[in-house]
Structure 1
């Protein structure tokens, strides 16, 4: 009788791709745990934390660093506060993901952090302090030399017409 109940089932995508079946399923909670992406014929699932899709094939410590405002030290601190082990992101359980999202939401990250930084710079520009003037001019604010470096802020070097290269040693 048990043999009659066990009917053969078509192989799923996880068996074909030689991977484990995903533990993540969308739930009735207001936020979706995973958003499927369609690449070729495969469904790739990414974990969303703080509105950012973090890679699920890396360890949690490194995946969290894809969120603006979370670096190496803060991601380690989050893992220590939660008592989570640093396993691969796709192996996290549903409860661990909910705890992780709650912990990450305590910090100023992503849009709020960008807005706060932009407001700080705008305030410096409005009061016309030294740092604000350097921001306006597009030059470094923290005392770096500008004769040779700081191409990131100044932009590409402009060639001067009529200037000859110095002759090399003979």
Structure 2
């Protein structure tokens, strides 16, 4: 398995394999292939050491990836919490941040359902 930017990339076409690096999606993978002058369909295992070094250099110079990107995102969220803005409060409470509904759905952010005791409906007798 070739290693680029500290990540083992699988033996797949290069434009797909580069997406295994945190912070590189389809668009950036295509741009990196184009800038390096390598066909996107080329298998990652067939790349030479020079080509891998060239790709690693392009990523280092132009893209924020892996640990540095994760650190920056964490700092941004911490800043939002510290200034006590609405988005920071939503992060603190573990609720959706971007305006999604929470009456139904939002289970990914809220976690498993918590059953509340005493919520039985009252039946009326006629």
Give the Cα separation in 1 of the matches to 2:33 and 2:84: 42
Q: Counterparts in 2 of 1:148-167, with a 5 A limit?
A: 148-163=104-119
Give the Cα separation in 2 of the matches to 1:124 and 1:160: 31
Q: CA RMSD in A?
A: 1.3
**Per-residue deviation at 1:160?**
2.7
Name structure 2 gaps, 5 residues minimum: 122-126
Q: Please identify which structure carries the higher helix content.
A: 2
Map of 1:67 onto structure 2: 21
TM-score, with structure 2 as normaliser: 0.89
Aligned length: 119
Q: Please identify which structure carries the higher strand content.
A: 1
Detail structure 1 runs of 4+ shifted over 4 Å in the superposition: 162-165
Structure number with greater Rg is 1
TM-score, with structure 1 as normaliser: 0.67
Q: Which has the higher contact order (CA 8 A, sep 6+)?
A: 2
Name structure 1 gaps, 5 residues minimum: 1-45, 166-170
Give the Cα separation in 2 of the matches to 1:78 and 1:164: 59
